[in-house]
A and B are shown apart, each in its own frame.
Chain A
Amino acid sequence: MNDLSGMDDLYRDFILDHYRNPRNAGTLEHPDATFEDNNPLCGDKIRMDLRIKDGAVSDVRFAGRGCAISMASASLLTEQIKGMPLSEIAKLGKDAVLANVGIDISAARLKCALLGIKVLKQALAMKYDPSPEEEAL
């Protein structure tokens, strides 16, 4: 089948590369911030561990399973945030993720693309606005 009708735009080589060879894959020992979440509709799952030094992300690892869109988006995001001050990360949103991926994504697949950044934001929120239970731990 030669007619790929736009789908090769969505699944570009670098997306497939990040899917098959995710950057910053794995976990950190004693991370300063960590969070795991899933998308209950599809079962995609991402955990992100962060090392934070002087108000910036000094190291990051992510682990999970999911589609090419969710895994590549998360992989690209980890590359982007390494060394980034938390104040800059706070400004990252949907647009940054879509710019990384480099294409428009249908509403049905947007959740996949945004799972990584959702987990990242939650990890930082837990670290800097911990619930009482978290504090007790």
Chain B
Amino acid sequence: MSLLAGAAQAPLTETEVARIRADFPILKERPHDKPLVFLDSAASSQKPVQVIAAMDDYYRRYHANIHRGVYHISELATEAYEEARRKVARFIGTPCSGECIFVRNATEALNLVAYAWGRQHLRAGDAIVLTEMEHHSNLVPWQILAQATGAVLRFVRVDDNGVLDLSNLDALLSGAKIFAFTAVSNTLGTVNDVRELSARARAAGAISVVDACQAVPRMPVDVIDWGCDFAAFSAHKMLGPTGIGVLWGRKALLDAMPPFLSGGGMINVVRLESSTYADVPARFEAGTPAIAEAVGFGAAVDYLEAIGMARIHEYELRLTEYALAQLARIPAVIIYGPPLAQRTGVVSMTVGDIHAHDLATILDSEGICVRAGHHCNQPLMEKLGVSATARASFYLYNTRSEIDALVRGIGKAKAIFKIA
């Protein structure tokens, strides 16, 4: 996204956000007879009626298995599935839709790379470089790969501000085959410089694998500009349904990879003793895929594109700025992570000696949904010296008045726990 294009776009207005909110049926719900204040989109976003309707329409009018039937509705389903792939590919800046493999979620995407690329290329003593801020989904598959191959794991340190310490990155990358890192920390909201990290990996002869789960939903992403080799993300965090995600990879790398899951749909010629495999992406999409979910995913991409990712990102940053300012004024609130310039719409905090679960329970009684716990990031929690934080995350449908509700909810928790 060029600066010019960014500047040419007007910020999201209150009227527009009100219209967006009207597209999300769930926002009319009243848990505990309070308005729903959903501040957990980093875990999973809510769905606009356009996405729900697209999936409903598919099941009502043209459900059939794809890439098999010669009849009309199967052709419709196949075309819708492939159209969703083209939309997603365009959305992340690649002209080649065949580089986007539909998987269940980002976790499966990362497992796919670890298994199919990793077991083919890693030997005992090779290094896999990760960071201390990885979600368990970008940590455990590499641990298993290391155990299977005899490779060693190395970690980029996270400093006290929640930012990667790159001072010894070249040493860490020396002899490394894989550098896997997140684009945005799901716990602290830290935004990493994916271009820089990918370039450093390439210079060291390692492939770069980007956990793009928190980035693709909330900022313009161009994987070609990033210069990475693989990127993984899930539809359900970007207004789409659960059960579908994407592994994007460079075509040459994907073409040379053996299958991960196997069975129908991923084969070329099958004999009793052996088979040959289909070309990419079919090679990595064994079995009947999530067709309705792909259709919904495509509708989610349409929805986000119609608003514009640069505007969504800008709006989320404004909300985050407001939230950080309001929360910082509350005595006993500690906010984790870097300053606004290095983060996006995720705010992790603790309030006095109130455990995050108790805080979340009290906020829930006010209809406010936040995540409490270790955010699938236990090593980082150890580093922060807390067992759990409460995390509020913002998206295009959230408002300042919802942040005000969060602030009031924290006040209630402090009153119950008798904290000044």
Contact with A along B372-384 (1 / 0, CB 8 A): 1110001001000
- Determine if A69 and B387 form an interchain contact, defined as CB atoms under 8 angstroms apart: no
Known: A6-B365, A42-B372, A43-B381. A11 touches B387 (CB 8 A): no
- Determine if B415 and A69 form an interchain contact, defined as CB atoms under 8 angstroms apart: no
CA distance A43 to B14 in the complex (A): 39
CA distance A109 to B360 in the complex (A): 11
- Determine if A42 and B412 form an interchain contact, defined as CB atoms under 8 angstroms apart: no
CA distance A112 to B353 in the complex (A): 17
Give, as a whole number of angstroms, the nearest-CB distance from B72 to chain A: 47
Give, as a whole number of angstroms, the nearest-CB distance from B87 to chain A: 35
> Is A5 an interface position by the 8 A CB rule?
yes
Give, as a whole number of angstroms, the nearest-CB distance from A80 to chain B: 22
Q: B residues within 8 A CB of A89?
A: none
Give, as a whole number of angstroms, the nearest-CB distance from B231 to chain A: 28
Tally chain B residues at the interface, Cβ within 8 Å: 25
Q: A residues within 8 A CB of B32?
A: 5
Contact with B along A1-20 (1 / 0, CB 8 A): 10111111011000010001
- Determine if B357 and A69 form an interchain contact, defined as CB atoms under 8 angstroms apart: yes
Q: B residues within 8 A CB of A4?
A: 412, 415-416
Give, as a whole number of angstroms, the nearest-CB distance from A14 to chain B: 13
- Determine if B365 and A16 form an interchain contact, defined as CB atoms under 8 angstroms apart: no
Q: B residues within 8 A CB of A28?
A: none
Nearest A residue to B413, CB-CB:
A7
Contact with A along B348-369 (1 / 0, CB 8 A): 0000011111100110011000
Q: B residues within 8 A CB of A112?
A: 357
Give, as a whole number of angstroms, the nearest-CB distance from A119 to chain B: 16
Give, as a whole number of angstroms, the nearest-CB distance from B364 to chain A: 9
- Determine if B355 and A67 form an interchain contact, defined as CB atoms under 8 angstroms apart: yes
Nearest B residue to A5, CB-CB:
B365
> Is A44 an interface position by the 8 A CB rule?
yes
Q: A residues within 8 A CB of B357?
A: 42, 44, 66-67, 69, 109, 112
> Is B418 an interface position by the 8 A CB rule?
yes
> Is B175 an interface position by the 8 A CB rule?
no
> Is A56 an interface position by the 8 A CB rule?
no
Contact with B along A90-125 (1 / 0, CB 8 A): 000000000000000010110010000000000000
Nearest B residue to A71, CB-CB:
B355
> Is B322 an interface position by the 8 A CB rule?
no
> Is B411 an interface position by the 8 A CB rule?
yes
Give, as a whole number of angstroms, the nearest-CB distance from A11 to chain B: 5
- Determine if B415 and A67 form an interchain contact, defined as CB atoms under 8 angstroms apart: no
Residues of B within 8 A of A (CB): 32, 353-358, 361-362, 365-366, 372-374, 378, 381, 387-388, 408, 411-412, 415-418
Q: 7 other contacts beyond A16-B417, A67-B357, A69-B357, with CB at 8 A cut-off? A: A1-B408, A4-B412, A5-B366, A66-B355, A66-B357, A109-B357, A109-B361
* 5 A-B pairs with the lowest CB-CB distances in the bound complex, closest first: A67-B355, A67-B357, A1-B412, A43-B374, A42-B373
